[in-house]
């Protein structure tokens, strides 16, 4: 079965430190990979995506993610965390040769940045 895993329910980081939110996937073909962020009582907001090309993609709010095909991972990173980064983060994957309706979301990781 095709799946997306976010192994950490919660990640706690001190402000100013680097952060990583992990995502691994198991899907067929060459996938399209996305990260979304959800603030309290809000809908999901797009952060960044990997479609093809450079494995390191940069997105909104200083976030970046690296596509690693051999490890089937797409970890989200930021060099210096801000308290305002505290939110729920979702990794999402569309399997290769699929339509957008076949998107699979991870279970979400709650990121908490302490001052």
Partner 1 sequence: DTAVSQTPKYLVTQMGNDKSIKCEQNLGHDTMYWYKQDSKKFLKIMFSYNNKELIINETVPNRFSPKSPDKAHLNLHINSLELGDSAVYFCASSPSSSTANTEAFFGQGTRLTVV
Interface residue list for partner 1 (CB under 8 A): 32, 34, 36, 38, 41-46, 49, 51, 88, 90, 94, 98-103, 105, 107-108
Nearest approach in angstroms of CB 23 to partner 1 is: 14
Compute the radius of gyration of the chain from its Cα atoms.
Answer: 14
Residue placing its CB nearer to partner 1 in the complex, 54 or 115? 54
Residue placing its CB nearer to partner 1 in the complex, 64 or 105? 105
Nearest approach in angstroms of CB 34 to partner 1 is: 6
**In this structure, are residues 15 and 114 in contact, taking their beta carbons and an 8 Å threshold?**
yes
Neighbours of 27 (CB within 10 A): 20
Torsional sign, CA 48, 115, 112, 24: positive
Nearest approach in angstroms of CB 112 to partner 1 is: 14
């Amino acid at each position: 079965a095709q799946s997306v895993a976010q192994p950490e329910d919660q990640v706690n980081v001190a402000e100013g430190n680097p952060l990583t939110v992990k995502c691994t996937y198991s899907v067929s073909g060459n996938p399209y990979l996305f990260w979304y962020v959800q603030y309290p009582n809000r809908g999901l907001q797009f952060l960044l995506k990997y479609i093809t090309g450079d494995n390191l993609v940069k997105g909104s709010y200083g976030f970046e993610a690296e596509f690693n095909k051999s490890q089937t991972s797409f970890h989200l990173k930021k060099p210096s965390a801000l308290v305002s980064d505290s939110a729920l983060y979702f990794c999402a994957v569309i399997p290769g040769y699929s339509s957008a309706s076949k998107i699979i979301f991870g279970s979400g990781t709650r990121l908490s940045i302490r001052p």
